[in-house]
Amino acid sequence: MKIGFVGGGSGGHFYPLIAVAEVLSAYPAKPDLYYFGPSPYNEEELAKHSIKHVSCPAGKLRRYFSLQNFIDLFRTFFGFFIALWKLYVIYPDVIFSKGGYTSVPILIAARLLRIPIVIHESDAVPGRANKLAMKFARYIGIAYDDVAQFFPPEKTALVGIPLRQSVRTINQDPFTTLGMPNDKPLIYITGGSLGADRLNDVALEILDELLPNYRIFHQTGSVHYDKLSQTANALLAGNPYRENYYIQGSISGEMISNLYDAASIVVTRAGSTTLFEIAAHSRPAIIVPIPEKISHDQRTNAYAYAGNGAAVVIEEKNLTQHLLIDEIISIIGDQERWQTMAAAANRQSMPEAAEKVANILHQIGKEHE
């Protein structure tokens, strides 16, 4: 059996593909796995799971005026013919798409070649690529009930978001693994692998007030790490609680999982994969979504996720150090509220999503063999 993967250039699109690949690789009759698209988000992960990269160019359609949109239109057109040829040569039994601009030429080519397509929508509002593909997809997996209204009900199912095994594994003693004392509540602040400017700035502003009573792990994103670590060192020079602050750029899935288990609260953006990782570890969260004018989905994701009480949403325009401090102290300091939010997060969790998607791919692939 041959199974193809395609998805946009972010970790939120890429890592759910890896999570499904992990499950498929454990099948007795291991299928051949292929990743179609431009440069992958993480080549090491492809190699680790024996996924062959098949290069297919794709152009991005931006939501604002840019001459690059015109150039990328030709890149997508050119990418379609390359995808058509490469899909014809390999001829996968099924394609799994996470959406994003990189999927468009591959999905159109797969449709013409009558290759079955399975799509997955992570966000509470569907992306344009999935809107395009939904008419000819065999199966549509969704992460939020709210988004079901946009898809044909007869082939749409709520499955959650496929999570890598390393991220969903629960560690009963995460502090030992992290090499960190378990003497104060831990606050985990993350803007994702690329970081988030406003979150990073506020994270530094709250240190003086919170470090005496809390430990803070600040994941800055690899791009911002050098500058922010220098700034933090200058701000905390001579501070007796300096050892309570940890700062790092990008971290492994295993470390992220341990941080979720160790943290009393997570302060995060509203990427759906991150939110479902937090839910898998039953942790209360404070969500600061990317403003709607920049990202059409994060604000909707945040409110969809927080709707049952699992999180508090702070709009970026309202984010101040004092508001963030008040919310952190209020949640951690009120055991009943903390337990209620943790239980709500647990109800959001759908830990078997990767297995469900893998089984669907395997069933459809067998029909097509």
Are 171 and 303 in a shared domain?
A: yes
Are 236 and 137 in a shared domain?
A: no
Are 323 and 357 in a shared domain?
A: no
Tell me what the pLDDT averaged over the chain comes to.
Answer: 91
Identify the pLDDT of residue 183. Answer: 95
CATH assignment of the domain containing 152: 3.40.50.2000
Beta-strand pair 117-121/215-219:
unpaired
Range of the domain at 183: 167-348
Are 53 and 179 in a shared domain?
A: no
Are 171 and 285 in a shared domain?
A: yes
Q: How many CB atoms lie within 10 A of CB 83?
A: 28
How many helices, marked H, and strands, marked E, lie in the chain?
16, 13
Are 180 and 310 in a shared domain?
A: yes
Are 248 and 192 in a shared domain?
A: yes
Question: What is the per-residue pLDDT across 231-264, written as a single tens digit (0 to 9) for each?
Answer: 999 999 999 999 999 999 989 999 999 999 999 9
Are 32 and 147 in a shared domain?
A: yes
Residues 6 or more apart in contact with residue 364 via CB below 8 angstroms: 93, 94, 116, 118, 138, 139
Burial of 152 (0-12, 13-18, 19+ CB in 10 A): exposed
Are 216 and 129 in a shared domain?
A: no
Collapsing DSSP to helix, strand or coil, 37 comes out as strand
Are 191 and 122 in a shared domain?
A: no
Identify the pLDDT of residue 141. Answer: 97
H-assigned helices in 49-173? 67-90, 104-112, 128-133, 165-168
Identify the pLDDT of residue 344. Answer: 97
Cα separation, 24 vs 18, whole angstroms: 10
Are 74 and 206 in a shared domain?
A: no
Are 66 and 6 in a shared domain?
A: yes
Cut 0.95: pTM above it: no
Identify the pLDDT of residue 76. Answer: 62
Low-confidence ranges of the chain (pLDDT < 70): 9, 58-77, 193-195, 369
Question: What is the per-residue pLDDT across 172-205, written as a single tens digit (0 to 9) for each?
Answer: 999 999 999 999 999 999 987 666 888 999 999 9
Number of domains in the chain: 2
